[in-house]
Structure 1
Amino acid sequence: MLQLDNPVRVRPEARQQILETLQANKIPDDYGLRIGVRGGGCGSSWLLGFDLPSSADEVYNVEDVRVIIDRKHLLYVLGAEIGYETGGFTIEKAGENQL
């Protein structure tokens, strides 16, 4: 069951990669992993990167990863699952690309 305490899920392989990246790049503790959506001409795409929270954000601790979500994006990212495969991060959302 999805709880607002954990609006997204971070898979173990993604968690490990995120924590290693933060440490290897000496990114300060007040930064976190921002997840959101970016609008486009024909739809939207996922936004994922390290950032500082602002007053418009909600900050969550998911699997020891500080996750930052803009309140305007919360509805769109709710239930997303962050993974990692060779070559980069993946984001999947239940029901996406299903008819």
Structure 2
Amino acid sequence: MSNNSPISFSSAAYENLVALVQQGKMPEPFLRVGMRGGTCGGTYVLGFDQKTEFDEEYLIQEIPVVIDKRQLLFVLGTEISFEPSANGFYLHKPNPIS
């Protein structure tokens, strides 16, 4: 498990994730951050999952996170935020790869 954080959480996202963990509402042991599809037309993935042999495991602000090693470059620097009015999590990449 690595302590270097390739992603970050906004305070609202962190609070909501901690609440899910404390309430036992994480259906799987890890939060998965990644990409689906191609790098040009791909979309971000955020969900709960099991760790696979291709994953790097992180403990980011007490939240267990897995990222596929092959996707790490594409999610590096991403901030996960939470929008209360939409009741949802969002991924923001400040400097997307073009």
Shorter-chain TM range is 0.7 to 0.9
Q: 1:77 and 2:72 equivalent?
A: no
Query: Alpha carbon RMSD of aligned pairs, Å?
Result: 2.4
Unaligned runs of 5+ in 1: none
Partner of 1:91: 91
Partner Cα distance (1:26, 1:48) in 2: 15
Q: 1:47 and 2:45 equivalent?
A: yes
Partner of 1:35: 33
1:25, distance to aligned residue in structure 2 (A): 4.2
Partner of 2:64: 66
Partner of 1:11: 10
Partner Cα distance (1:47, 1:27) in 2: 16
Aligned residue pairs, count: 93
TM-score (norm 2): 0.82
Partner Cα distance (2:95, 2:52) in 1: 30
Partner Cα distance (2:11, 2:65) in 1: 15
